[in-house]
Amino acid sequence: MFRNVAELIELAESKNCKISEIMIQQEMDVTGRSREEVLGFMDRNLRVMEEAVMRGITEDVKSHSGLTGGDGKLLQTYIQSGKSLSGELMLDAVSKAMATNEVNAAMGTICATPTAGSAGVVPGTLFALKEKLNPTREQMIEYLFAAGAFGFVVANNASISGAAGGCQAEVGSATGMAAAAIVELAGGSPSQSAEAMAIALKNMLGLVCDPVAGLVEVPCVKRNAMGASNAIVAADMALAGIVSRIPCDEVIDAMYKIGLSMPSALRETALGGLAATPTGRELEAKIFGIPLNEK
């Protein structure tokens, strides 16, 4: 039905419907499933996300490596103290984004959106906005379809793989997906969703993938936190009427080309960036029991 963001927006505007509805129709056409079946599958994904968020902010989740865990819960405690500077909605989204990725690092069940390493941004923002916008279950499911529509475009025109395009392709894509979905949930237009996606992704261009010890933990968890905050700000900018001077499809293409030019040391190999710092190497040696002089 659509190959890029421009076609997606044109379809939504011509049919006078939400972006999420275009994605639902496409899923029905591609899979041959009924509307009820398609919505049911996404509802199951939503339940998985909700369970991961709640586990991460209420339980003492720790990864097997010991590198991550507990920060989502810790931030919730800080929010309750009333001393936060960023505002409760923003920090709630950040907390729930980190919580999701901490559950992933602890070998828990999450829903890849679009990948496991970037799985916190979309649910983190959704479940924070739930407290403010009070969406129905159907609207929450539509949020995921709206995010999925933009993820579909990125996956088919660029990349959602850290190994292929760096973290910009993972957390960057998730950030843009969330920003676009936030706009729809808040009552914005399809074109404003595209502007939000463009603004959010522009601010993640060039982000490298440099996991310490090759594990999806450091800095992945905290990058999801920044992705969630970026998504909310980008959505607010778009809802205010601010536009991206570079069209969304061109931003996606730029991300793809940047990924192609990125050295392999900065594409999930743990050979560069934070993974190659002295502390990064020390942590790797400690986790795998390798003497530093053998590294």
Are 112 and 119 spatial neighbours (Cβ–Cβ below 8 Å)? Answer: yes
Q: How many separate domains does the chain show?
A: 1
Q: Rounded to an integer, what distance in angstroms lies between the CA atom of residue 245 and that of residue 207?
A: 21
Q: Which domain holds residue 34?
A: 5-46+112-290
Backbone angles phi, psi at 182, to 5 degrees: -60, -45
Does residue 160 sit within a domain?
yes
Q: Which residue has the higher pLDDT, 273 or 295?
A: 273
Residue 290's pLDDT is what? 84
pLDDT digits (tens, 9 = 90+) for 28-68: 999 999 999 999 999 999 999 999 999 999 999 999 999 99
pLDDT digits (tens, 9 = 90+) for 158-199: 999 999 999 999 999 999 999 999 999 999 999 999 999 999
Residues sharing a CB contact under 8 Å with residue 25, sequence separation 6 or more, in sequence order:
1
Q: Rounded to an integer, what distance in angstroms lies between the CA atom of residue 113 and that of residue 123?
A: 8
Does residue 66 sit within a domain?
no
pLDDT digits (tens, 9 = 90+) for 251-289: 999 999 999 999 999 999 999 999 999 999 999 999 999
pLDDT digits (tens, 9 = 90+) for 89-141: 999 999 999 999 999 999 999 999 999 999 999 999 999 999 999 999 999 99
Prediction pTM value: 0.97
Does residue 106 sit within a domain?
no
Does residue 186 sit within a domain?
yes
Q: Rounded to an integer, what distance in angstroms lies between the CA atom of residue 51 and that of residue 254?
A: 35
**Is pLDDT at 230 greater than 60 in this prediction?**
yes
Q: For residue 294, name the pLDDT band (cuts at 50, 70, 90).
A: low
Does residue 54 sit within a domain?
no
Does residue 295 sit within a domain?
no
Does residue 189 sit within a domain?
yes
On average, the pLDDT of the chain sits at: 97
